[in-house]
Amino acid sequence: MACAGLDGRSGAERTGGGLRALGREPTPQRETAMSSTPSDNDHEPATVNVSEPWTLAYWARRFEVPREAVEAAVAAVGHEPAKVAAQLGRPWPFEGSGIV
């Protein structure tokens, strides 16, 4: 049995987690809000950011090209990953990237 807090609700109820364990389904709004991203991969950045060394390194490794090639592609076509990938001659989305 779950312990109730000062407000009379269990930890799962206060945090919103464990709804199925409590015999309730998540509300449709919550599921829609979480799945309304434009990309198929929720963890994939929406833009190719080359302004920080670590983000430039990420994209160079992601496309498996030198950092300078990523910078040149972004300068030529903008920050959209699909356009940068096309400029680099890489498929997008690219499942075989070096990211592990």
Q: 27 and 66 share a domain?
A: no
Q: 43 and 87 share a domain?
A: yes
How far is Cα 19 from Cα 9, in angstroms, rounded to an integer? Answer: 13
| Total tally of structural domains belonging to the chain | 2
Q: Where are the alpha helices (DSSP H) in the chain?
A: 11-15, 28-34, 53-63, 67-77, 81-88
Q: What is the pLDDT of residue 93?
A: 80
Cβ neighbours of residue 40 closer than 8 Å, sequence gap 6 or more = 93
Q: 21 and 52 share a domain?
A: no
Q: 49 and 89 share a domain?
A: yes
Each residue's pLDDT tens digit, 22-80: 566 655 544 333 333 444 556 778 899 999 999 999 999 999 999 999 999 999 999 99
Higher pLDDT, 1 or 55: 55
Q: 44 and 73 share a domain?
A: yes
Q: 32 and 43 share a domain?
A: no
Closest to 48 in 3D by CA, of 62, 61, 59:
59
